[in-house]
Structure 1
Amino acid sequence: MEAAARRVRIVLLESPLELVPREIRNHPQVVRYARRFGIDPGEALLDKTYHYYAMASLPQKWKRGRPDIVHVSLLLLQDSVLNLTGHLEVYIHVLDGRVFRVEPETRIPKHLDRFKGLMAQLLIHNRVPPTGKPLIHLYASTLREFVDKMGGLILLWERGKPATPADIVREALETGWPIGIGMFPRGDFKKSTLRKASRTYSIYGGVPLKAWTVIHELLCAAEEITGARRACCPIREEDESENAE
């Protein structure tokens, strides 16, 4: 198969990315935070580190305000050998249902505050940058629309059928279905998300893992199966001769 046909698709599900909700924009914590960065409270990304007390009244607060989880996950994915060799597609599903595509050449800011500014811009304009060629842009308005476009969804869930990362990657390559990884720090997927899964798998016997651990396992398996690592770092002829001896 050609490299373009062997792309592993990964979608970051229920990513805790949202602008500060209207009902808490007047909270002193939010106002101070917005003033510090010189922005309107409605243009700030919700962040539990800075808005902990303001978030006390929000429903399902334990699943919200953690942009750092998405930040680390995207750094791992975009800087991976799998992506550098053209074998990866990445999508971000946010709490309001929208799904964004991250172009392969997109470089994620290393500093969390810069990343948060980028994500706030994305949620406001549905793309970044707002003009010119987009690096991250709206792909689907709802998760249902996204799954319909992809033809299916492989969901990694602690109560799913036990499977190895390699088996999951192989199925994703054969079907073209994206692999969905939860981005929330606590709790479970929404029932509406679970209903959209074509397959559910667990890679560690029902034990919940951190998102970045799951991503690491998938990347290692995918780089081996697609030959991405060998393509990126080919063995020289003299090395092969030495190994043959």
Structure 2
Amino acid sequence: MLRLIIADAELQTVPENMAKDKAIRNIAEKNHKKPSEMLLDSNYMHTSIERFFPGESNRRGRPDIIYIFLEMAMESILNRDKMLEVYVHTRDNYIIHINSETKLPRSYNRFQGLMEDLFKKRSIEYNGNELLSMKDGNIVPFLKGLDGKTIALSPDGNDSSLSGIISNNNLNVVIGGFSQGDYISDIYGNFPAYKIFNQELTIWSAGMEVISEYERYTKLIK
């Protein structure tokens, strides 16, 4: 089993201190939503994010990169063969589990709505089957509670080939869920970190490479 864990993902609803911002309220009114129940999205809220969190507007509010990653992972051969588990840990210490049978919306707007429902309800079910679940949880204890070997990917990690990293059938791979900066959680203090390319990768390209190598390692594909 390969487990991919996205750590410190910039996936959150609009923080309470931003809910009364005029621009945020205008967006909420246009979409017939409460400000505090909307996903924070820098594509639409960049100026407001910079106003409340100076210097963080290029990192905070990036549900789009989680969307792209999940579309890739859930459609992989590995996931279709029930050999992949995916978790998303957010900066506010929520841990989201995505059932391997979940069919995510093809539309980003519909994905936003799905995540907003999840933050509100903590569980999304269909025909009695829980597709998405959310619980409170610090990433380090969560990772230490998983079976198997745990490693992290980082452009600042030790140089390694993917074939050198993936040498265990029961493997947990941590990937940063942000477009800028570094892990907020104490990943480096608890798990070995590796660099698999000489340039920084997007989370979906890193995830794709790991999944593909694991498929070859397990001989799921040749």
- Whether the aligned pair in 1 keeps the contact of 2:7 and 2:139 (CA below 8 Å) is no
Question: Residue by residue, what CA displacement relative to the aligned partner does 1:188-220 show, whole Å, maximum 9, x if unpaired?
Answer: 1125233232x1111013x21111211121122
Matches within 5 A, 1:104-123: 104-123=100-119
Question: Residue by residue, what CA displacement relative to the aligned partner does 1:149-206 show, whole Å, maximum 9, x if unpaired?
Answer: 11563110111111122222224x2xx3410111211111125233232x1111013x
Unaligned runs of 5+ in 2: none
2:84 partner letter: L
Look up the match of 2:203. 211
Confirm whether residue 63 of structure 1 aligns to residue 59 of structure 2. Answer: yes
Look up the match of 2:160. 163
Identity %: 26
Q: How many residues align?
A: 219
Bigger Cα displacement from structure 2, 12-21 vs 28-37: 28-37
- Whether the aligned pair in 1 keeps the contact of 2:8 and 2:185 (CA below 8 Å) is no
* CA–CA separation in structure 1 for the residues paired with 2:127 and 2:27: 27
Bigger Cα displacement from structure 2, 39-48 vs 211-220: 211-220
1:227 partner letter: K
Structure with the larger helix share:
1
Look up the match of 1:223. 215
Bigger Cα displacement from structure 2, 57-66 vs 218-227: 57-66
Structure with the larger strand share:
2
Larger radius of gyration: 1
SS at 2:142 equivalent: helix
Pick from 7, 20, 26 the counterpart of residue 26 of structure 1: 20
Question: Residue by residue, what CA displacement relative to the aligned partner does 1:212-244 show, whole Å, maximum 9, x if unpaired?
Answer: 2111211221111112236xxxxxxxxxxxxxx
* CA–CA separation in structure 1 for the residues paired with 2:211 and 2:221: 10
**1:107/1:130 Cα in 2 relative to 1: closer, same or farther (>3 Å)?**
closer
Unaligned runs of 5+ in 1: 1-6, 231-245
